[in-house]
Amino acid sequence: MQPSSFNRVNIDLTALRHNYNFLKKQAEEAEFLAMVKADGYGHGMVDCAHALAKAGCTVYGVAELPEAVYLRQSGISGEIYSMIGFDPADAHYFVEHRITPVVYDLASIEALSSAAEQQGRSIGVHLKVDTGMSRLGVQLHDIDNILNAIERAPGTHLAGIASHFPCADDAASATTQQCYDLFKEFQKHLPAGNEVVKHIANSGGTLYSPTTREDMVRCGISLYGYYPEGRNHIPEDGLRPVMSFTTRVVQVKTIPAGQGISYGHTYVTTKPTRLAVLPVGYEDGFSRKLSNCGEVLLHGRRAPVRGRVCMNLCMVDISEIDGVGVGDEAVLLGRQGEELITADEIAGWIGTISYEVLCMIGNNNQREYHN
């Protein structure tokens, strides 16, 4: 038995599987790749991948090779894509652990070829092309050289071509179609008769641009219950948030008018004020930017953060909420009664996106999984 923290990050695996099934229907005939990078967007890569496997998922995506190897060693038997490149000295791991590499340069192709030959195997690579993200990927004027290099490299073959949308979260943006048109231009350079997996649609592409789904879609943020454009209202038959975050009141006090609160006294009371002290702070992913603007739920009502969020503590105003006592649950992310605080709402308070909020909270706390 280990001592427990006041703070709880709860992961609802039933909601995760619901989102998977909902998105699978949206994807229609396209294969579904579940993005579990960034430790499952803060939800726990291994636990989420195994829950998705039970729901029927067979394809997963991570950012870096170490994530992919760890996922394979955890018992995931499906296809695992490593998306952002690798040190050429580590190429042999792709062959040994049956990991699918996404490549965008000659050095990676040469390293994979050498590793495959040494182990007497063949490895399929997916070529990343740049269709407007200006991030990783081969540009159109270099496509023939790269394709020729893959064809000449013993032990490797072209298994797929991939890109990424920069503006798919905006359903009204013309950029998505422009990027997709360029993706089609890249495909014209593929060898005749070479059947490869084509994929470009992320969560936004999957939900809002059905013509871009191609052979496979790659869903990340939507898998965890959030719409990519930051929509705050979540319909009951659509996506469901998977993560919630709670803590407990450790002290209740009344302070007089004119009293400063927390570091720097950035908030000074104008009347006698009842405060609940919560054992959560920026160490726990409850951002310091929530100082004097964030809210939590207590007894099903909203309590505003007063003063600066500390490393391990913060204070909220409960002057308008009767009966709050030590040990009462405070919800920082999630539902309590009729009220709901989403990662999108928190993101709005601190000027970021739901992705970062989930990663900050989920990766800074012990998680508990529920079915």
Q: Which of 37, 81, 224, 227 is catalytic?
A: 37
CB-side neighbour CA atoms (13 Å) of 242: 36
Cα(306)–Cα(317) distance, rounded to whole angstroms?
Answer: 6
Q: Which has the closest alpha carbon to 79: 93, 98, 55? A: 98
Give phi and psi for 114, each to the nearest 5: -65, -45
CB-side neighbour CA atoms (13 Å) of 202: 20
Between the two ends of the chain, the Cα-to-Cα distance in Å is 22
- Residue count of the chain, please give it: 371
Q: Is 37 labeled as catalytic in the residue annotation?
A: yes
3-state secondary structure of 292: coil
Q: Is 263 labeled as catalytic in the residue annotation?
A: yes
> The tokens of 322 are what?
């009767």
> Do residues 137 and 115 make contact, with C-beta atoms less than 8 angstroms apart?
no
Give phi and psi for 48, each to the nearest 5: -70, -40
315 DSSP β-pair partners:
277, 306
Q: Which of 54, 184, 253, 263 is catalytic?
A: 263
- Please identify which residue in the block is written with the tokens 């909270």: 361
Q: Among all residues, which ones are annotated catalytic? A: 37, 263
